[in-house]
Amino acid sequence: MAEQLLDEMIRKIDQITASLDGTIAQISNMSTAINAMSQKFSEETVSLTENIRLIVEVLKQFRTRSSESMQALSDDFNAQIKELYENKAIENIREEEIKAIEDIKNAAKAVANNVYYAQLLTIIQSIREETNRIIQARFRT
């Protein structure tokens, strides 16, 4: 009986060992999966960090270049103003504009005078035609 009890205990210990081997295998598989997930997470984190770094670098370059572009435009504009001032082109433009305004005023006066004379001629012609009608009407009667 002791031998039978011993055999049964050995069998139970073997079952427990087999069960523990299965549990250990499952734990080992879970550990491998967790390590793989951890590795993938680390890789994704590094990739995300690199992408963010690249975006920040692009933004820095854009800001630098846009500042340089604005400065270049400002410098060019200032140089052109300085050149105009040094060549007295602004005064020349102003004088030319004053002459052009005077010419426009003179042309407007001439047009107004021409319109006035045209109206007078139309009135005179109407008076002449009316006078001719009256004279012809008198000679007929």
Residue type, 107: A
Determine contact, residues 84/90, Cβ cutoff 8 Å.
yes
pLDDT of 91: 65
> Please, which residues have CB within 8 angstroms of residue 26's CB and are 6 or more apart in sequence?
none
- State pLDDT tens for residues 48-103: 888 788 877 877 777 777 667 777 777 787 787 777 666 666 566 677 777 888 88
* Residue 141 DSSP symbol: -
- Mean pLDDT (the chain) is 81
* Residue 72 DSSP symbol: H
Section 121-136 average pLDDT: 87
Residue type, 136: Q
pLDDT of 35: 86
Section 110-126 average pLDDT: 84
Section 5-11 average pLDDT: 86
* Residue 6 DSSP symbol: H
Section 36-47 average pLDDT: 85
Q: Give the chain's count of helices (H) and strands (E).
A: 2, 0
H or E, element range at 87: none
pLDDT of 85: 67
> Which residue has 């080992």 as its token pair?
28
pTM exceeds cut of 0.85: no
pLDDT of 92: 64
DSSP code per residue over 14-47? HHHHHHHHHHHHHHHHHHHHHHHHHHHHHHHHHH
Report the length, in residues, of the chain.
141
